[in-house]
Structure 1
Amino acid sequence: MMPSPMNAISEGGIHIAASTIIAADAAHTQFQEYARQLGVQEYIAETRIEAGATLALTPTDALRERALQDGGTIGLANALGLDTQDEADLDREILLSMLACPVPFVFPNHEELLSAVRIRRRIVQGARRTALAFDTEAAERPAGYWTYDTERGFTVLPGKSLITALQLATQPEEGRLYAFSCYRATEYVTVLGIAQELEQVNPEQYGRLQQQWETRAVMSGRFHEVFLREYGSLDDPLPPGYYVPGDRLWFRNPDSHSSNIEGYEGSWVFYLGSGLFNNFWKRDQPYTLTAKCVEIYHWRHGARTDASGKLAMDESVVEARSAVTLADPDETARVLDRMLRIRDPQGVYEEGGCIDATRECARWVRPGTSDIVLPDFPA
């Protein structure tokens, strides 16, 4: 029986739910070697649950005392002196942050855990390189790799690499930027990270993914269902400072008026690690949690009616007001007191802030255990 991926077991952290005790013993040996290579053994406590067939990995007291404040991980890299521009340090932050999750990350074997860490690393690296033009109505993709159809969306031309097509669309070296909404941008960065891992560990499924994008794009709600796992809930929210590098997450605009502007209902981003969130529009200027909250707070002041009578956003007003707030510690604290609250439910604009209760991460990808089911090319 395949282990349930999330919410299956009460304890948090990382669970490797093997099929037998012998398989769990093998996973233990593999994980111990992985932890030794990363040099993080002192931060990981291991117990056996489920009659010994599941490895439950949680933070040691040393990690909690040094790097985990109020259940949060946003200061972990700084507390441990990690430079997450370095791949090994980024992997360390990913793994140790996962250990601190109040909801268990469940994997059927050690290999799926390795892939989960690598996908998160690839997503962070892709998000750092992504630079786009913001547009919720127009959309463009590089000619020679993409074509568009109203029924199928943007699809990859036959014979063209999906990975290359995604990189060309989101990671321009110079020149023009292609138009995206932030939501669609997160889809491209996510599927790129998954595709890169599939190409390495599950080439058969990567071939099906290539066929899928040559046939029909997977978008919006269907994308979430096919590729992502959501953890946390409004009834049992994750701590406001809890993030794992590679998480896809949403900051909600808690202002009812400005949230009526298309594209300003909220902001979809990735957590990059080291306390930073990506900026699709200015990739060399990632956000701190404080800066992101302050910017979204001031969307209410940037709402304007344009010449055509349509509600629009004046970004220059938002930028100017944000700079003034960030220069005033007392005003920044006042704004954060409101914005760092968990958001209200959908359709409600009362006392909630901009912090979502949940995060999203990629599904399993390995042969025999992958739970990605493509709409047009299932296994």
Structure 2
Amino acid sequence: MNSACFSGDFPSAAPPPRGIELPGADPAQAGRVRDLLDALALGPYVAESASGAGHAFALAAGVARDLVPGGDTMHLCRDLGLDSAAGSAGLEREIVLAMLAAPRPLRFASACEVLAALAIRRNTVLAARRTRLAFGTAAVERPPSHWTYDPGRGFTVLPGRPLVEALTLATQPGAGDGRLYGFSCYRASEYVLLLGIAQELERVNPPLLARLQRQWETRAIQSGAFHDTFLDEYGSIDAPLPLRYYVPGDRVWFRNPDARSSDASGYEGSWVIYLGNGEFANFWKQDQPYTFESKCVEMYHWRDAVYLDAAGDARIDEAVVEARVRETMADPQRRTAVLARMARLRDGRGVYADGGCLDHSRESARSVCPGSARIALPSARGAPHALQ
């Protein structure tokens, strides 16, 4: 798995996809998923199976071989003529197709959770497309009409200001006065994911949204706690996902494999949202989303742009990065060499050896429906409790 893998260079054979799984033998639950597939005109692509353990829906083996060779989901729009940027229908088809291509089972407690996962992913992609921010790891701000800051609690929402509205105004300049607010890519990805979750909670679980609102009026959940509270991780260092397997709405980590440039604050790596159609969100240049190749090339050239500021801290000169990226992307031989170095699985934490920039896993929202929600928020006494 540590060899270069790009431009369609994949094994000719791969294990059949496992797709979506539902527990139990309730035909009504399977019927709701079947209705979703029919509504998206995906029935002909799917192999369905049932056992005492439950129902499974996955891409048929022949379909998977043609559409997702080696687990590559990045060309679904191209190969099927989908326009996932034009509206929800094409985007939802791409999301479900990629879920059906999952190399290991995506297990959902019910059809409600399948539909909610689809909606959260759609919401996340749409929000990420509209997000434009100013890069900053120290001096950061939020719209003062909806947010306040305390060093011990982080940025919290002012009482009476809806969380969905507050998140939207902080990340989408087109929804407010056009001002760009300062974020790190890590925090930006959290806001976009939280917005996608909160929008779906309005529809399926208002009581949980109310508790989430109260939480953000009290204390922000961020960094590792955010991951542990809101996200599931799919894939691992021992069982990595295919290098180009992505589902729209995934949060994706690209790791900087260069030790020296990774010392610059904010350049340890890059958190992005997969938008579909082979593109990843660019929170700083909204109209210039990354491709798989351009993201790898950009991160490679961070090593060429390191300098020390007056305080002796490592910094990255973005103008140098942009110039080097243009040169590499215009030189096919050089581009191929850079991708061969970067488009491979990353090394372990603290190791800078032969690994590339690609992570072993992807992250997406936990279940949210009443009776099966798996989001746990801190209680009033500080201990976590499950919210339904």
TM-score range, shorter chain: over 0.9
2:305 and 2:265 map into 1 onto residues whose CA distance is 13
Q: How far off its partner does 1:62 sit? A: 4.2
1:310-321 correspondence to structure 2 within 5 Å: 310-321=313-324
1:74-113 correspondence to structure 2 within 5 Å: 74-85=74-85, 86-113=87-114
The answer as to whether partners of 1:43 and 1:62 remain within 8 angstroms in 2 is: no
2:62 and 2:92 map into 1 onto residues whose CA distance is 19
Q: How far off its partner does 1:191 sit? A: 0.5
2:326 and 2:216 map into 1 onto residues whose CA distance is 42
Q: How far off its partner does 1:11 sit? A: 7.3
Q: How far off its partner does 1:144 sit? A: 1.5
- Residue 28 (structure 1) aligns with: 30
2:178 and 2:377 map into 1 onto residues whose CA distance is 34
2:205 and 2:351 map into 1 onto residues whose CA distance is 43
2:32 and 2:99 map into 1 onto residues whose CA distance is 18
The answer as to whether partners of 1:240 and 1:355 remain within 8 angstroms in 2 is: yes
- Residue 352 (structure 1) aligns with: 355
The AA in structure 2 aligned to 1:283 is Q
Q: How far off its partner does 1:94 sit? A: 0.5
Q: How far off its partner does 1:61 sit? A: 3.2
Q: How far off its partner does 1:48 sit? A: 1.3
Alpha carbon RMSD of aligned pairs, Å? 1.3
1:229-378 correspondence to structure 2 within 5 Å: 229-376=232-379, 378=385
Alignment TM-score, normalising by the size of structure 2 = 0.92
Question: 2:43 is matched with which residue: 41, 44, 47?
Answer: 41
1:373 and 1:310 map into 2 onto residues whose CA distance is 38
The answer as to whether partners of 2:17 and 2:59 remain within 8 angstroms in 1 is: no
Deviations along 1:22-55, one digit per CA (max 9) or x if unpaired, are x2x1112112211111001111111113x2x411
- Residue 12 (structure 1) aligns with: 18
The answer as to whether partners of 1:229 and 1:362 remain within 8 angstroms in 2 is: yes
2:377 and 2:63 map into 1 onto residues whose CA distance is 39
Q: How far off its partner does 1:244 sit? A: 0.2
Q: How far off its partner does 1:60 sit? A: 1.1
- 2:76 pairs with 1:70: no
> Structure 1 residues 108, 199: CA separation in 2 closer, same or farther (over 3 Å shift)?
same
The AA in structure 1 aligned to 2:108 is F
Deviations along 1:96-133, one digit per CA (max 9) or x if unpaired, are 10111112110011110000000000000000000000
The answer as to whether partners of 1:66 and 1:80 remain within 8 angstroms in 2 is: no
Deviations along 1:203-256, one digit per CA (max 9) or x if unpaired, are 011100000000110111110000000010111110111000000010000001
- Residue 225 (structure 2) aligns with: 222
Q: How far off its partner does 1:307 sit? A: 2.8
2:136 and 2:17 map into 1 onto residues whose CA distance is 42
**May I ask how many residue pairs the two structures share in their alignment?**
364
Q: Give unpaired runs (5+ residues) of structure 1.
A: 1-9
1:89 and 1:79 map into 2 onto residues whose CA distance is 13
The AA in structure 1 aligned to 2:353 is E
Q: Secondary structure at the match of 1:298?
A: helix
The answer as to whether partners of 2:255 and 2:270 remain within 8 angstroms in 1 is: yes
1:77 and 1:29 map into 2 onto residues whose CA distance is 27
Give the % identical residues: 54
1:89 and 1:285 map into 2 onto residues whose CA distance is 21
Q: Secondary structure at the match of 1:304?
A: strand
The answer as to whether partners of 2:33 and 2:114 remain within 8 angstroms in 1 is: no
- Residue 142 (structure 1) aligns with: 143
- Residue 59 (structure 2) aligns with: 59
Q: How far off its partner does 1:17 sit? A: 1.3
- 2:171 pairs with 1:181: no
1:29 and 1:58 map into 2 onto residues whose CA distance is 15
**4+ residue runs over 4 A deviation:** none
Q: How far off its partner does 1:305 sit? A: 1.3
The answer as to whether partners of 1:48 and 1:54 remain within 8 angstroms in 2 is: yes
Q: Secondary structure at the match of 1:373?
A: strand
